[in-house]
Structure 1
Amino acid sequence: MALKHVVLAVLVAVVWGINFVAIDLGLRDTPPLVLVALRFALVAVPLIFFVRRPAVPWRTIVGVGLFVSAGQFGLLFTAMHLGLPAGLAAVVLQCQMIFTLVVAAVALRERPTGRQIAGATIGFAGLGMVALGRLEGAEGAAALLPLLICVAAGLSWGIGNVVARSAGPSNGFGMVVWSAAVVPAPILALSLLLDGPAAVGEALTTIGWPTVLSLAYTVVLASLFGYTVWYSLLGRYPAALVAPFALLAPPVGLLSAAIVLGERPNPLELGGSALLVGGVALGQLTRRARGIRPAGLADAPDERISSPHVPEHPRPPQLRAGGHR
């Protein structure tokens, strides 16, 4: 990769890692589901009027919107709202790789490679260590609920990966924008049901600077900037060259949460986080780069990759033998 593209790939990973701190900031004065609805409304509008709809069935766009965006982020934001530290959330969410393998094996009959199975096993062991670490904390068993909700977010992301995988190649940026439009209405309706009209109305009419700054970061930097650069890199280079850079996001998430929020994971949580990220890495680095793709293919990026931190990333991992992740 050219040096400038390496710098861009690292920058995107750093942006995605810090994104969890930005989410934590927004959750300080806005209910989680309202924050999700606002985020994706701003991703979709006004871009949806200028970005061509991806050439996939509507059911795929709706499926990606419901599972990759609404389900994943609704559950993730709720988990963090209930007390899951931002740094650990950045790591635990990577369990999506395990669920993607399982769901694809059942739904698409795709057989994971031995290395992918080994990576999933290591990742599952790491997740168990994180759970034990949470049990050792001051809150004890109560701390497991937000952890389990974050695991459910990973499951939703994994299902969404398979939904997108079944559709084959499509315009990635268009999928991000159009699938985002699916999110606000059902998430806001759910917030009205769970939080009540009064709480939702107050949140929408008294938006504070923490929420404004959080939305500015998550919409402009994490979503629009991050994915535009990521898709461009995937269009220029093989996925096996680009994908490993996304593995920088969990460590960045842990470090930025420690610096900004003062989070201090205990030894079991740190050890489990290392195992989980290591398992994702083992399952992901299964394919050797086979040369550079022509720059002219930048508008048709490799669909065989799912960024491990990209919350609204519609691209699922390649699950066939010898494929990526």
Structure 2
Amino acid sequence: MKLRDIALAVAVTALWGVNFVVIRVGLDHFPPLMFNALRFTFAALPAVFFVGRPRVPWRWLLAVAMALGVAKFSLLFAGMAAGMPAGLSSLVLQSQAVFTVLLAVPLLRERPGRRRLAGLAVAAVGVVVVAAGLGSDLPGGAFALVIAAAAAWGLSNVATRKAGGTDMLRFMVWVSALAAPWLIALSLLVDGPATDLAALRDVDAAAIFAVLFVAGAATLGGFAAWGYLISRYGASTVAPFAMLVPLFGIASAALLLDEPVHPTDVLGGLLVIGGVLAGLVGARPKSPDRTSPAADDPRPSAGGRTRLAPQPVGTGWPSRRPG
């Protein structure tokens, strides 16, 4: 890779890592479902009126919208609102790789090799180590919500694989457009119109920045740059950069939010990242992917491939979505 493109890849992962800190800022102003609804509404509008619909069957667009936009990010935001730290959330979310493989075996009939299975077993142990270190300041329920978000992400990865490759930016815009109405309805139903209106009345510059950052920079800008890199160099070359996301997430949360970093977090993080990377090393895609667009989210996928998706982010990315 050219030095310029390596710098771009690192910049995108830094953007997605810092995005977890921005999510924390947004959750200080909005209820989780409302913040998620705003994120996907502004990711879709006005872009949906200017980009054509991707060549993907409606059923798969809707499936990704529900699994990724409605389930994954709602659960992630709810977990962080319930007390899960931003940095730790960026790490625990990497367990999506385990869920993707578990779902891809029965749904896609994929057969992961021994290296990948061993790596994912190590990653699973890392998640257990992190969970074992949870104290009274880190509620188990919040941790469970982020784990559930990782499972939903795995399901969206499978749905994205079924959808096939397409232009990643268009894909994310239309996924956002399909997710937004459901999220608005859920927010009104769960939080109530009075709560949502109160949050809107109290909006300030920090809240506006948080919404625009997660919708514009992290969702559309980050995924567009990631898609460019994968189309230029291939998924197998670019995907490993995604392992920098939790490193930037933990570091930025420690610097900007004063979140403590515990020894169990470090050990668990090394196991999670190392396990996922171990499954990538030496893995070869079944077919060339140099012409494939990028992924919604930059994580490694089952079978060592990265499929076009929808974070990112957090997260957030959805491109060939990393399953």
With the length of structure 2 as denominator, give the TM-score of the two structures: 0.90
How many residues matched? Answer: 309
2:253 counterpart (251, 257, 279)? 257
Match of 2:270 in 1: 274
- Is 1:168 aligned with 2:169? no
Q: Matched residues in 1 for 2:249 and 2:180: separation?
A: 26
Match of 1:238 in 2: 234
Q: CA deviation at 1:269?
A: 2.1
Q: CA deviation at 1:241?
A: 1.2
Q: Matched residues in 1 for 2:212 and 2:113: separation?
A: 40
Match of 1:113 in 2: 113
Match of 2:98 in 1: 98
**Identity over aligned pairs, percent:** 39
With the length of structure 1 as denominator, give the TM-score of the two structures: 0.90
Q: Do the aligned residues in 1 keep the contact of 2:294 with 2:319 (CA within 8 Å)? A: no
Match of 1:206 in 2: 202
- RCO greater where, 1 or 2, for CA within 8 Å and sep 6 or more? 1
- AA aligned to 2:136 is A
Q: Do the aligned residues in 2 keep the contact of 1:28 with 1:210 (CA within 8 Å)? A: no
Q: Do the aligned residues in 1 keep the contact of 2:166 with 2:319 (CA within 8 Å)? A: no
Match of 2:30 in 1: 30
- Is 1:196 aligned with 2:216? no
Q: CA deviation at 1:126?
A: 0.5
Q: Matched residues in 1 for 2:70 and 2:93: separation?
A: 15
Which of structure 1's runs of 4+ aligned residues deviate more than 6 A? none
RMSD: 2.1
Q: CA deviation at 1:285?
A: 2.9
1:284 counterpart (275, 280, 287)? 280
The SS at the match of 1:316 is: strand
The SS at the match of 2:178 is: coil
Match of 2:131 in 1: 131
Counterparts of residues 223-234 of structure 1 (less than 5 Å):
223-234=219-230
Q: CA deviation at 1:116?
A: 1.2
Q: CA deviation at 1:196?
A: 1.9
- AA aligned to 2:124 is F
Q: Matched residues in 2 for 1:82 and 1:58: separation?
A: 34
Q: CA deviation at 1:314?
A: 6.4
Q: Do the aligned residues in 1 keep the contact of 2:97 with 2:154 (CA within 8 Å)? A: yes
Match of 1:305 in 2: 306
Q: Matched residues in 2 for 1:178 and 1:241: separation?
A: 27
Q: Matched residues in 2 for 1:305 and 1:69: separation?
A: 19
Q: Matched residues in 2 for 1:315 and 1:198: separation?
A: 40
Q: Do the aligned residues in 2 keep the contact of 1:130 with 1:268 (CA within 8 Å)? A: yes
List alignment gaps of at least 5 residues for structure 2: 296-304
Q: Do the aligned residues in 2 keep the contact of 1:68 with 1:314 (CA within 8 Å)? A: no
